[in-house]
Amino acid sequence: MHNTKFKKFLGLISLFLMLSMIACQSDKPGKTAIKSKDFTNQLAAGADRETIAKYLIDVRKNAGVTRALALHYPNLTEDEAYRIQMTMLSMLGEQGERLAGWKMGGARVTDPKAPFHPVYGFMLASGECSSGGTVSSTRFVNGSPLVEAEVGFVLKKDLPGPKVTREQVIAAIDSVGGFSELISIRINDAQGGTKATLPQFIADGLSNGGFIQPRHKYAFSTVDLSDVKAQVVINGEVKAIGDSSGFAFVDAILYLANSLLKYGRHLRAGDVIITGSVLEPPSAKAGDRVEIKFSTFEPLRITFK
């Protein structure tokens, strides 16, 4: 049992390191004059799940930061983290928000011998940004979103778990394209740094701050996803490059489909699923013109104000 848990940890460590690394970027001085509000003192120890979820919604809506999970819930489990996240989603639904789909991490296979165990968070329709449009940087922590390049999928059929097959996943995919997730690191460690635990990130929805959907997508059967190259260009300068090598896209969606029922959810027709950044995302700020280029898909463009 202990060996299995250790392998599971190894399978997630690359995702955790990326979260830590990209969070560090937002700590560098001189990036922006905006300083996000610290909500740490607004959550006490011993709060119930609903109270924590409501609190995390407040932090999210105000583009704030918090050390409260690290201070009061250092041993938060992955299961409880997902239950908090799903409670948030239900509360947001009651407030009029609409689920657009799901973001994933850990879909790149770094150790074939380790159990495949990606993680996921919800995405809201209100977080969708239009390619070619303008987005306010104040929506993101410290006014400085991190810009990812991802392969994304749109479903044409429901996939109610927990016994979905790989063949059913393939049959349910309507289209595929190049997407971008905009990351907003709200969760800090106890010292105010960037090394919160993975369950703490999961409870918050894996730092999702929004996403950019392409205008044009492609039939799944017509695209070779084994070598999708991407780069993020900011103000004409290439800031990051990467590729899709090692990503298990279908297996990631399969895992998601068969995991959600435990938390009262399932994949639905129309859901967008983005499967993790193929590069280490750079940060952007107000005034930046950003282009996300793909070798296989049309580029995405966004301007931050």
Is the CB of residue 182 less than 8 Å from the CB of residue 211?
yes
Which one, of 254, 244, 249, lies nearest residue 278 by Cα? 244
**Cβ–Cβ < 8 Å for 186, 65:** yes
Structural domains in the chain plus CATH codes: 2-304 (3.90.850.10)
CA distance 55 to 65: 11
> Are 240 and 281 a contacting pair, CB within 8 Å?
yes
Q: How far is Cα 178 from Cα 109, in angstroms, rounded to an integer?
A: 20
pLDDT score for 29: 40
φ, ψ (nearest 5 deg) of residue 115: -60, 140
What percentage of the chain carries pLDDT values higher than 90? 87
pTM above 0.85, yes or no: yes
pLDDT band at 18 (very low <50, low <70, confident <90, very high): low
Does residue 25 carry a pLDDT above 50? Answer: no
With tokens 């928000």, the residue in question is 97
Q: What is the pLDDT of residue 34?
A: 85
Q: Binning pLDDT at 50, 70 and 90, where does residue 81 land?
A: very high
CB-based contact 102:273 (threshold 8 Å) = yes
- Average pLDDT value over all residues in the chain: 92
